[in-house]
Structure 1
């Protein structure tokens, strides 16, 4: 009787293990490319991966740290990741082959949904005499991490407003590095293009008095006229510690993108899972309140993937 029991347990365990292995082999493994750990892309993309794992059948999803927008669209183009987060200036110019993407157009790019707007933060310490864009000249300035949307946007915006990279000592740092090197006195100014409030600036403001460098109405008008994918926005007062007034700046929306060859059923299931569990994203970061079906269906800067479009038609957001 004892031997029979042992054999039954053995057989059950064997079958269970084989079943688990077979199930794991059936599960499609996909990757969401996010950004650096000091911004919002990383927690947003991580939560998106959790939603996919819990609500999309037969899919195993992981979120990966990357250099963000520019790197991400190139990863999608090479089919090294399934989904990626990117700023819409990068998305638009990659798709059309403009700017830094001249000669390397990514026509295979498609959007899945619109995430939220970024605010362009130009941050210094209160003790430094930096109050306007022209004061950046001669300073040590971090323009954003290599391959990031922040650096891409900085490369478009600052020269348009009369400040070139030749005017200051250029650093290319992640958001977390911006905060650390401002604390340590290595740089004078750090630039973030990110959803507010972001953890790295919050961390910096808890130990140091900081100042935000605003744009003028004239500067914002000039940027928006030159680049229609940018818009006027104000950083609301008290978004960060001791920030007692609104800060005028420019914004850009962000998309989740994929390759045109991505499975229509997979993209449909991901869009459906994200919007039906949007509260989970909002619990991760309140900026996800901007993640709506309406904006996603109607405000994409490039064509929407057929899988996502199928979902938007299903819920009546498009005809």
Structure 2
């Protein structure tokens, strides 16, 4: 090898080493494989790679749920990013509910980065059922599914709205809902997911459906966050749908350095429009949803929000 070749090879190795050192790795833990939230994680990973020209590399991990995501904070390092409803952070830090007897000092170090699409309640009825309001569900057959947030929440709402024992609950999985609705085997189904929800899109495209709105009084009874699904989100939807949601956000801890948290947050918001073009559920995310975060935000993320003039609360600082 000539001297010039040796110098060139050494320079190439130096550039390669520099690039490797510049790359920041993060692990994003969200939900089960196949779920919409796992798909969102994949989209975020791709957006981070594109938006930073490869400076950030995100590995998406499957999760069994939000509680597990929070619990893993105890053993994770500064590269850990996870999703969970904001309410769970407060419960973890106070050692309440599902975290009773499982408290840990590391929970106090959790810091928010940015909101992601909320779990949104959908009550979908066939046009032939004649269901226009919740009261009209009396005597009808409704599919809730089982073991999901939507199933639990849907059952709760039936009780709150005076329909307990007055509705026939279909013994079937939610995956069968669209076909069962179209075939007249059920009158309505309940599902929760980021809007527009794929199964609701399918139902609205294959037959005429009515997606119910909740009154302000009903929303207050549920103690959930009010959310408006804009008109035109689904086929045949000519007006806004007022419903409830469970906010969800991405978090890390103070173990993550400020520059990484800043870059993750900045890239997320700068790539959101492109992600919205690939998947419509990102279009429903706005900086106003930061208001659902009731605990502290990471200093690196705060730097970005201050740069773009997003107001934050004292509790978030």
Same fold, judged at TM 0.5 (above):
yes
Instruction: Say whether the 8 Å CA contact 2:144–2:155 is kept in structure 1.
Output: no
Aligned in 2, Cα 1:239/1:61: closer, same or farther, shift over 3 Å?
same
* TM-score normalised per structure 1: 0.69
Residue 60 of structure 1, aligned match among 57, 63, 75: 57
Taking the TM superposition and a 5 Å limit, the aligned residue runs for 1:134-213 are 135=137, 139=141, 141-142=143-144, 146=148, 149-150=149-150, 153-154=153-154, 157-162=157-162, 169=169, 178-179=177-178, 189-213=188-212
Taking the TM superposition and a 5 Å limit, the aligned residue runs for 1:40-55 are 40-55=36-51
Taking the TM superposition and a 5 Å limit, the aligned residue runs for 1:29-178 are 29-35=25-31, 40-56=36-52, 58-64=55-61, 66=63, 69-76=66-73, 79=76, 82-104=80-102, 106-128=107-129, 133=134, 135=137, 139=141, 141-142=143-144, 146=148, 149-150=149-150, 153-154=153-154, 157-162=157-162, 169=169, 178=177
Provide the C-alpha distance between the structure 2 equivalents of 1:192 and 1:273, rounded to a whole number of angstroms: 31
Q: How far is 1:61 from its partner?
A: 0.9
Aligned in 2, Cα 1:206/1:32: closer, same or farther, shift over 3 Å?
same
Instruction: Say whether the 8 Å CA contact 1:34–1:64 is kept in structure 2.
Output: yes
List alignment gaps of at least 5 residues for structure 1.
Answer: none
Counterpart for residue 252 of structure 2: 258
Match of 2:265, SS state, is helix
Provide the C-alpha distance between the structure 2 equivalents of 1:245 and 1:161, rounded to a whole number of angstroms: 23
Match of 1:193, SS state, is strand
Q: Deviations over 1:218-270 (max 9, x none)?
A: 322322xxx3xx33344344422233454332234331122343333321220
Instruction: Say whether the 8 Å CA contact 1:130–1:136 is kept in structure 2.
Output: no
The count of residues paired between Structure 1 and Structure 2 equals 303
List alignment gaps of at least 5 residues for structure 2.
Answer: 313-317
Instruction: Say whether the 8 Å CA contact 1:143–1:154 is kept in structure 2.
Output: no
